[in-house]
Amino acid sequence: MRSDEAKFVLSAFRPRGEDADEPQMTRALLQAGRDPELLRWLDEAREFDLFVASKLEESMPVPAELRTNIRIGAQVGRSAKRSVRLVLIGTATAMVLVGSFGLLLPSAQPLEGWQQATLEEIAGLTSGQIPFDEKSNDLGELQDWLKDAKAPNAATLPPGLSRLEAVGCKTLSWDNQLVSIICFGGGKAGLVHLVIVDRQGPRNAPRLNAPRWIERGAWLTATWSSGDQTYMLAMQSSRAALKALL
């Protein structure tokens, strides 16, 4: 998929990632991960949509018939859907600017290189386009495999992951160092991915009890450091769901 095609598809992307599992949307998100300019555009568009939505939720109740009307409107085709979305955003923008003059939009937090590389890999694992290096429901077996591969291994796991069943693991090379990914089944929330890399950043990097939160496209991530390692937990879900695993 070319970047211009991906941009057209992503113009209908819902900011909280509800449609990220659709095959066409998944391909567009993968292309955004490969194209920095497209990714910046997506981040800005998504943050603006989330900002507008939050202001509308604060200022007015959602009509009971809105969901039905949206579903009916979606059946007329992508062009009509995009037009309706632009009209709604334009109206919402005017309301927000009038009601919140001078309020600044939230700024995007940058991803580090190893985070961007692993999110691209994770997207491929989730869609099935990239295979696991090792598949097993036994976390111990996956950790043994990573040890034999001389890849980073989790010295400690977030408490909530103990409730989930392991699925598989993957390694990739970034900046001449190995990065490990251990994937867990998250039920309705889909796969949960734990990324482990040799410690990144200063010694006072975020801890598990106060991780650094970043959203990119459909993905929400929490990053922290412990000992000689840095961890990132990533999933397509709400902050509350991800926080419950930490």
Regarding whether 139 and 44 lie in a shared domain, the answer is no
Query: What span, in angstroms and rounded, lies between the C-alpha atoms of 185 and 219?
Result: 16
Q: How many domains does the chain have?
A: 2
Q: Residue 73 in 3-state DSSP?
A: helix
Is 204 contained in some domain? yes
User: Under 8 Å CB-to-CB from 155, ≥6 apart: which residues?
Assistant: 226, 227, 229
Regarding whether 174 and 196 lie in a shared domain, the answer is yes
Task: Provide the pLDDT for residue 139.
Answer: 94
Query: What span, in angstroms and rounded, lies between the C-alpha atoms of 209 and 225?
Result: 10
Regarding whether 93 and 11 lie in a shared domain, the answer is yes
pLDDT along the chain (246 residues), means of 10: 80 73 80 81 73 56 54 51 50 45 43 86 88 94 95 88 92 91 84 88 60 85 88 88 86
Regarding whether 139 and 76 lie in a shared domain, the answer is no
Regarding whether 76 and 153 lie in a shared domain, the answer is no
Please report, for the domain that includes residue 172, its CATH number.
Answer: 3.30.200.100
Give which of 44, 46, 39, 57 is closest to 17, Cα–Cα: 46
Q: Of the candidates 99, 123, 155, which is a domain's last residue? A: 99
Is 107 contained in some domain? no
Is 104 contained in some domain? no
Q: Of the candidates 36, 67, 99, which is a domain's last residue? A: 99
User: Under 8 Å CB-to-CB from 33, ≥6 apart: which residues?
Assistant: 39, 116, 119, 120, 123, 217
Question: Please, what is the end-to-end C-alpha distance for the chain in angstroms?
Answer: 36
Per the structure, the complete domain to which residue 28 belongs is given by 3-99
CA distances, 171 to each of 48, 73, 98, 132, 133 (Å): 34, 43, 50, 9, 7
> If you ran DSSP here, which 8-state letter would residue 162 be given?
G
Residue 187 falls in which region: left (phi positive, over 0), alpha (psi -120 to 50) or beta: left
Regarding whether 193 and 136 lie in a shared domain, the answer is yes
Task: Provide the pLDDT for residue 87.
Answer: 46
Q: Of the candidates 44, 74, 99, which is a domain's last residue? A: 99
